[in-house]
Structure 1
């Protein structure tokens, strides 16, 4: 096989919905203030006893079932997360155990909000190199564990959830070459530092300026590596950080008027490494983009890191 492609997707979100009005009871904010600055209306919050492994397993189980594969077919499991409280065994190893995957390579990857697209590139490389025929790539976060609920600039943004993709060997390349990198001079712009229970923090204006200045060119690079232009895209799924950032980026891309733009951030908030697979899974579940059509995945996060690629919609 000369390529790989995403063959199935799955996602999971906790039952509890936290509204903007709910947050107005915690900090000095309002529904109007939050919507105007972020575009977010609601976000999902996991139960106290619901772990990152629980979220990841639920999403991965759905993706595995949708793929029609058996657990024994999976040769690689990777979980992108920055909020797992367990250091060892990895979340990926725990997911593999729960799903009955017998002997896959299993590891976690922490690249902040860019974690899923980074992990997807790694899985694509592994499959194309013959190290695995089928891989399970998961983005899962429990951001509520690391939220400072007294900081109105960040607590209004964050939510919990997970998304997963099955990546399989294919004669054609359904996952395009990755455009990735980092700007360590701005490494502290998004951070989760400290003890076992640190709080998420960011320099919001620094992130906004960097993303709106640089992400459009990174998007064009990812498209060019896949032999496309942004106008050829059927869909765009960026990291769901803030609706205003998404709008500012896509305005610069020269997209077709028919291109579908994922805006799951409105309902789910910023779910870090889970945001891209969560939004992509919902987009395909609703069949907003035809199977096989090109979709740009693009994420940025702590480090200041980025990773993106064009994929064939499953």
Structure 2
């Protein structure tokens, strides 16, 4: 399908230096600081995921000159739990924007949703020839009741949303193709035991929390070799999905001007840059360490930053690549 990005928008929480706030989240200060992140973005309690999504969407719509009634499709990719359970955040976004004629689609594939959403748009455009314009939003609002933004994972989570309006036939920032790898053997890796139908929340119980890094070792029977093997697999599949996406788009990995990965920690991004054979300065390492990890919003935020900075030339090819729980690995090839 032939479509391109017409305009961008973003909405971020307040920026806070990691060194100043790390003690609010963990006593393991040195481990967290070793990840290399300088700042994270945090929202006050009254700001929800869809508040961020609405603000970013409105900015993207204004930048592209799009009225709500012109949207045929609204796609929202989320990383964490939204404001409510039994509730469709994408439909709420559609209503709050006044895009009442648009189909709404919610993507909950973790951090990979900011990539797989492009395939969703391509599929809808293919099956609905009358669809001309779509809104794509990636958003993360850390649910701190269940998830410690600095201790649960080796990425430091930030609150924010990024959006783009895409148009059929638009000549700039064109989607050239994508690829997704799914390995359901790791579907249970990031789950939270309580809160679902099997073990629902019950009155008087201790507050449930998401697994931390050590709890995740249970999945591998506390075998450090197996865990290290999984980390190697995760990184190798990022390389694989980039190569497969390039092949599908009819380009070579060496043709890529930039590779935008998840806003991961310093060590991981350097390992991935080496595996992909790209210099660190052609990745998102600097942006990641300056701002933190925004989940499904990472890739659009990085792309918007490059556009604003004038880093991209006409004809440049960019790979948006990463992984998300499920496990899913995804890559989308974008031509400037």
TM-score range, shorter chain: 0.7 to 0.9
C-alpha spacing 1:89/1:25, structure 2 compared with 1 (3 Å) = closer
Q: Which residue of 1 aligns with 2:292?
A: 269
Instruction: Confirm or deny: 8 A CA contact 2:6 2:170 kept in the other structure.
Output: no
1:17-56 aligned at under 5 Å gives the runs: 17-30=16-29, 33-36=31-34, 38-56=35-53
Q: Distance in 2 between matches of 1:232 and 1:252?
A: 16
Partner of 2:220: none
Greater displacement, 43-52 / 207-216: 207-216
**Distance in 1, Cα, partners of 2:136 & 2:258:** 20
> SS of the residue aligned with 2:116?
helix
Question: SS at the partner of 2:275?
Answer: coil
Q: Distance in 2 between matches of 1:144 and 1:292?
A: 39
Q: Determine the structure 2 residue equivalent to 1:159.
A: 158
1:265 to partner: Cα distance: 2.1
1:234 alignment partner, one of 235, 254, 257: 257
TM-score (norm 2): 0.83
SS for the counterpart of 2:296 is helix
Kindly indicate whether residue 212 of structure 2 is the aligned counterpart of residue 212 of structure 1.
Answer: no
- For residues 114 and 96 of structure 2, the distance between their equivalents in structure 1, rounded to whole angstroms, comes to 21
The correspondence of residues 183-198 of structure 1 with structure 2, limited to 5 A, is: 183-195=183-195, 198=209
Give 1:131 shift: 5.1
Paired residue secondary structure (2:242): helix
Question: CA separation in 1, counterparts of 2:102 and 2:112?
Answer: 23
Query: What TM-score do you get using the length of structure 1 for normalisation?
Result: 0.88
Deviation string for 1:259-300 (max 9, x for gaps)?
731133212222211222222222222222224421101120
Per the alignment, residue 252 of structure 1 pairs with 275
CA distance in 2, matches of 1:193, 1:142: 21
Work out whether 1:307 is the aligned partner of 2:330: yes
Q: State the alpha-carbon separation in 1 of the partners of residues 149 and 165 from structure 2.
A: 38
Gap regions ≥5 residues in structure 1 = none
CA distance in 2 between partners of 1:235 and 1:258 (Å)? 10
Deviation for aligned residue 1:96: 2.0
Partner of 1:77: 74
| CA positional deviation for 1:201 | 4.3
Instruction: After superposing the two structures, state which structure 1 stretch, 146-155 or 268-277, moved more.
Output: 146-155
Counterparts of 1:277 and 1:225, CA distance in 2: 21
- Give SS of 1:178's match: strand
Partners of 1:113 and 1:86 in 2: how far apart?
20
3-state DSSP class of the match of 1:180?
strand
**Does the Cα contact within 8 Å between 1:128 and 1:169 map onto a contact in 2?**
no
Q: CA RMSD in A?
A: 2.6
Distance 1:166 1:148 in 2: 31
Q: How far apart in 1 are the matches of 2:211 and 2:86? A: 22
Partner of 2:59 in structure 1? 62
Structure 2 runs not aligned, ≥5 long: 196-200, 202-207, 218-226
Secondary structure of 2:313's counterpart equals coil
8 A contact 1:6–1:311 mirrored in 2: no
Cα offset for 1:150? Answer: 9.6
| 1:122 alignment partner in structure 2 | 120
Task: Give the secondary-structure state (helix, strand or coil) at the position aligned to 2:174.
Answer: coil
Cα distance 1:199–1:144, how it changes in 2: closer, same or farther (>3 A)?
A: same
Higher Rg: 2
